[in-house]
Structure 1
Amino acid sequence: MLYVVLALISGCLVILSMVINSHLAKKIGIFQGTFVNYLVGLLFISIILILKNEFRNLSFNILSYIPFWAYLGGLIGVSVVAISNIIIPKIPTIYSTLLIFLGQLFTGIAIDYCRGNLISKGKIIGGLFIIAGLIYNFNIDKQES
């Protein structure tokens, strides 16, 4: 149950972070906002590592043994923040949230498929229902405006 609650909190924080970052990006620029986002994140995690005395567990020697692809998370993270900084001010947050969720859902399905994991029809059908609801709601909003 704890992990479910933490996942929900994480989801809320992702959306909140995207909205805050997009406002920052409107003020100082997309890539400048992304830079500030990661700079503040670096400072915050550095403070946590110092307070928990865990810098000693970070061996820079071992970093050379980690495969290249493992470092792509940072590159992808920067891309996510920069893209969010572009789209959040352009479309309503609910649409961007649902579209990002759909991207996550279908990417998760594709990764599970590539790794040989069972893919349930329910996940695919659920994703298609979300797409249908999104299109329906978008058309209603379009007619109202």
Structure 2
Amino acid sequence: MIYYIAAIANGFLSVINKMVNVKAGECLGTARGALINYIEASVIAFCLVYITGKGGEFRLSFIKEVPLLFYLGSVCGLVAMIFLIVGTKNTGAMTSTVLMLFGQLSASIVLDYVFFGTFRPIQILGIFMILSGIAWKEKIRELELRKAVLMKNEEEAE
């Protein structure tokens, strides 16, 4: 049960993180906003390593021993952060979050197959249901915007 609660908390914090980073991107620029995020994360990571009492991670020999594949996570994270800042500014928090979920689910299906050899077609159906929800939400948003414009035009005409 604790893992489900942690996953929900992760989702909640991810959306807060996203919106803070979008605001940082708006105020500081996309690259600088992403940089601030990574500087903060680095400081926190250094503090955690220091608090745990292990300092071997700071040795150059340790850094060289880490497989290059493991550094790919930070590269993907940085690119994702930049996409998140740019995308959320143009689509809004809800649509951006759902589209991010779509990307995560798609990647999860591929990685499950690559690493564990598992694939269930029902997962694809779930992704298409999510896409249908996004399309429906965007259609409603478009209709509401049109309605607001029409009402504004009618008020101005009177």
- TM > 0.5 between the two? yes
Match of 2:47 in 1: 47
Q: Which runs of 4+ in 1 moved over 3 A?
A: 56-60
Match of 1:84 in 2: 84
Match of 1:123 in 2: 123
Match of 1:10 in 2: 10
How big is the alpha-carbon RMSD for the aligned residues of Structure 1 and Structure 2? 1.6
Tell me, which stretches of 5 or more residues in structure 2 are unaligned? 146-158
The within-5 A match list for 1:70-81 is 70-81=70-81
Match of 2:149 in 1: none
> Which moves more between the two structures, 34-43 or 113-122?
113-122
Bigger CA radius of gyration: 2
Is the Cα contact below 8 Å between 2:56 and 2:62 reproduced in 1?
A: no
Shift of 1:48: 2.1
CA distance in 2, matches of 1:114, 1:81: 25
Shift of 1:57: 5.3
One-letter code of the match for 1:129? M
One-letter code of the match for 1:39? I
Q: Looking at secondary structure, tell me which structure has more helix per residue.
A: 2
Higher relative contact order (CA 8 A, sep 6+): 1
Q: Structure 1-normalised TM-score?
A: 0.91
Secondary structure of the residue aligned to 2:90 is coil
Q: Structure 2-normalised TM-score?
A: 0.84
CA distance in 1, matches of 2:62, 2:71: 13
